[in-house]
Structure 1
Amino acid sequence: MNLDIKIEEEKDLTYEVFLAGEIDAYTAPKLKDALMPLAEKDNASITVDLNRVNYMDSTGLGVFISILKATKEHNSDLKLVSLQDRVKRLFEITGLDSIILIDSTVQGGN
C-alpha cells in the first residue's frame, strides 16, 4: 500500500495535512520528508488528519515523535485528528497520547 499526502496552507504558517493509506517502514520516510519542513518553521501550526490511515506501525510513531521534537524546538504546534480506532490504540498503548495532542473527533463536528 502507498501513502498519499496532501498539504494545505490554511493561512500563514497554519497547515492541514491529509494522509491516506498506510504508514510503515516503506512509507514513513516519505511522510517525514513532507512534514519536517513544516515542523522546522517557527510558530507554525500543523494539524494532521489521519482519518484515511488504516494502518500504522512503530516506524510511523517514530516519525511523529521526530516531528513533535522539531515543533517544540521551533515553538510550533502539532495536532493529530480523526484517528481510526486501531491507529489511536497504538498511540495509547505506547503512551504517546499523553505527549502528542490528539483530537479523536472527526473534522467538521461529525
Structure 2
Amino acid sequence: DITSWLDKKIEDLSKGMQQKVQFVATVIHQPQLIILDEPFSGFDPVNANIIKEQILRLNQEGATIIFSTHRMETVEELCDNIALINRSKKILDGSVQAIKKEYRNQTYRLE
C-alpha cells in the first residue's frame, strides 16, 4: 500500500525505496534516452528483477538505455552493446555476443 508513503520525505525512505522513487521519476515521462548509474545497487533480488523488467520494457518501447555496472551477468542479461571503461578510458567496445566470442578463453585483470 503506497498511501502510507505519500507524506514521507525521500530522505526518510530506505535506500531501496529512494532508488525506486528516483527510477520512477526518471522514466515517468517516457524519455528516449535514459542514463542510470548502478541502477541495481541496494536492491534485493526481487526488486532488482522488477527494475530489470522495466528496463527491458522501456528498451522494447524504443528508449536507449545507458547504465554503469560492475556486474557482468547483468550486462549479459540486458545489453546488446557494451563499452568497458578503465580510468576514464574506453578499452573495449562492441556487441556482447562478439566480445564474448572473441574473449571467451581469456581473462583480464584491471588494476
Quickly name the TM-score band, shorter chain normalised.
0.3 to 0.5
Larger RCO: 1 or 2 (CA < 8 Å, sep 6+): 1
- As a proportion of its length, which structure holds more strand? 1
Larger radius of gyration: 2
- As a proportion of its length, which structure holds more helix? 2
